[in-house]
Amino acid sequence: MKNTFQIGILVVCAAAFLMAGLNLSFGAPAYTDMDDYMLAHGQEETGSNNIVTGVVFDYRGFDTLGEATVLFTVVLGAGLVFRRLGKKEDEYEYE
């Protein structure tokens, strides 16, 4: 029974990944006026010679800060979980 359930979940996950892969579309990205604006004015507005750096840290600074905060929180949480697991294993070894 347990193996049948696991195989069923595997089939459902494989089907979901297959459908997602088949629905991907590749090609030229949509043209927007924002692309031209950032290329024309990016260096003078951000002071950066690299337009990618200017976009990430100046135009999208709050978004980048939020992503860094989420990553820091995940790493900190994982570290605390593994630290507690290590302490519990040590306690059981001495009994």
- Residues 29-68 have pLDDT tens digits of 777 888 889 889 988 998 889 988 888 888 888 888 899 9
Token couple for 32: 């927007």
CA dihedral in degrees (43, 44, 45, 50; nearest 10)?
A: 10
Alpha-carbon Rg of the chain, whole angstroms? 24
Contact of 23 with 35, CB cutoff 8 Å:
no
Global model pTM greater than 0.75 = no
Query: CB neighbours (10 Å) of residue 57?
Result: 14
Q: Alpha-carbon distance 75 to 28, whole Å?
A: 36
